[in-house]
Structure 1
Amino acid sequence: MRFAGKALAWLALALGLFVLAGWIGSSIPRNSGWTEPDDGIAIMVETNGVHTALVLPLVTPQKDWRRDFPASDIEASDAPYTHVSISWGQREVFLETETWADLRLSTVWHAMAGSDALLHVAHYIRPAPAADIRRLTLRAHEYARLVAAIEAQARIGRQRRMYPGYYAQDVFYETGGSYHLGNTCNQWTGDILAEAGVETGWWTPFAGGVMKWIPD
């Protein structure tokens, strides 16, 4: 009992230090001084409180996402989609954890230790801004850099395996990169925004560390 108590105390301490480090790391700005333009290309950043994603217009002069993420890859393929939600995350969490009740200890361990990642793509029709999906305007060249960053990490143009999504409007794709505690789904979102030149935190392992840089 004494050993178990010490082990739990050390675990709690480690978790607390990780949370503190994440808060500090996400508060240190990258691209300090960036300002949002009045006009440009409107994207969105969405969150469910744990995970973040980039919601991008389906077609712009810089990119037509229909070529890389065709609606034919999803069940509800005939709807008039206007946007795609793109995010990156741990394979087992994505494929085996449709709800938090499905989360297993082994999945958490694999996510912490390091494992393969997948890309999650959902198709939307005219998403509206809300507390959990916030609008962000980029200049044309900034959006082009954001597109290039996603293309570089998502194996765009290569053959890749697909997996069914949770609903009729989403799908998973094989992608590159290794998921671990230092490189989480939210770090991916933060890195993509930083590549575009947007002001964001240096290390954003948590959803809140990404969203606090996006005006509500």
Structure 2
Amino acid sequence: MKKIRKVLGYIVLGILGFCVLYVVAEYCLSRLAVSSKKVPMDRNIQVFVKSNGIHTDIVLPVIMKELDWSHIFPYTNTVGKKTGYQYMGIGWGDKGFYLDTPEWKDLKASTAFVAAFGLGQSAIHVTYYNSIRENDLCFGYKINEEQYRVLVKYIYDSLDLHEGKPILVDTDAQYDDADAFYEAKGAYSMFYSCNTWTNNALKKADMPAGVWATLDKGILSHYRK
């Protein structure tokens, strides 16, 4: 019995030690800025980094001279089927979390376990906006056309495609009348979260970002003045 208790004690200490190390590493690395390779020039495209307090989205203009996102993610796939939106928020995450957990009160242990250990599928969540206002959870940033193209490629490469087109997740789980879900590549885990996806996008586009982030606060810290 003593041996069993001793082993269980080591297991508990190991788990606690891992949790502490994880939190410290995430805090430090998410706030350690990635050095910019160069200073982007001709930055005239307004984008945003937006959080709901937990999950971050990259918000882009719906229409640019080279691309109309509504052709890729049709308005008709939203519940409201309205048109003429100015901005579009894009986020990546665990599909089960997205669809089965609209609010934290809906979180199930099985959903959390699958997501934490990379056992589930992923999805891209697209939300359209008429306008965007900056606040403590939403920050604007201007980029140039080259950076914009990098973001476009990153988003497109994250999608599961059928005949070159995104695959709509056939569900009634939309959060409001201006959003939709699409099948995506990769798997969510405690080491690669929805915010890691966002942070990696920002790094690739030479925008302010941390070395590694799984929570929104580290990402937003690079945009707070």
Q: Same fold (TM over 0.5)?
A: yes
Structure 1 position 34, deviation (Å) = 5.5
The amino acid that maps onto 1:64 is D
- Cα 1:135/1:37, change in 2 over 3 Å: farther
Structure 1 position 6, deviation (Å) = 6.4
State the structure with more CA Rg: 2
- Paired with 2:126 and 2:86, the residues of 1 have a C-alpha distance of 13
After TM superposition, the structure 1 = structure 2 runs for residues 101-180 of structure 1, keeping only pairs within 5 Å, are: 101-114=105-118, 115-155=120-160, 157-162=164-169, 163-164=171-172, 165-180=174-189
- Paired with 1:198 and 1:98, the residues of 2 have a C-alpha distance of 29
Tell me whether 1:73 sits opposite 2:77 in the alignment: yes
What is residue 200 of structure 1 aligned with on the other side?
209
What is residue 15 of structure 1 aligned with on the other side?
19
The amino acid that maps onto 1:97 is T
- Paired with 1:105 and 1:10, the residues of 2 have a C-alpha distance of 21
- Paired with 1:187 and 1:92, the residues of 2 have a C-alpha distance of 18
- Paired with 1:38 and 1:158, the residues of 2 have a C-alpha distance of 31
How many residues align? The count is 216
- Paired with 1:64 and 1:88, the residues of 2 have a C-alpha distance of 20
Structure 1 position 8, deviation (Å) = 5.0
Alignment partner of 1:30 out of 34, 46, 68:
34
- Paired with 1:35 and 1:50, the residues of 2 have a C-alpha distance of 30
Q: Secondary structure, in 3 states, of the residue corresponding to 2:73? A: coil
Q: Deviations over 1:157-203 (max 9, x none)?
A: 33514233111111111111111111110000011111111131121
Consecutive unaligned residues of structure 1, counting only runs of 5 or more, are none
Contact 1:200 1:213 in 2 (8 A): yes
- Paired with 1:112 and 1:78, the residues of 2 have a C-alpha distance of 36
Contact 2:82 2:178 in 1 (8 A): no
After TM superposition, the structure 1 = structure 2 runs for residues 35-74 of structure 1, keeping only pairs within 5 Å, are: 35=39, 39-74=43-78
Compute the RMSD of aligned alpha carbons: 2.3
Identical amino acids, percent of aligned pairs = 27
Structure 1 position 25, deviation (Å) = 1.8
Contact 2:72 2:166 in 1 (8 A): no
> Could you state the TM-score of these two structures normalised by the residue count of structure 1?
0.90
Q: Secondary structure, in 3 states, of the residue corresponding to 1:179? A: coil
Structure 1 position 37, deviation (Å) = 6.1
Contact 2:34 2:210 in 1 (8 A): yes
Structure 1 position 143, deviation (Å) = 1.1
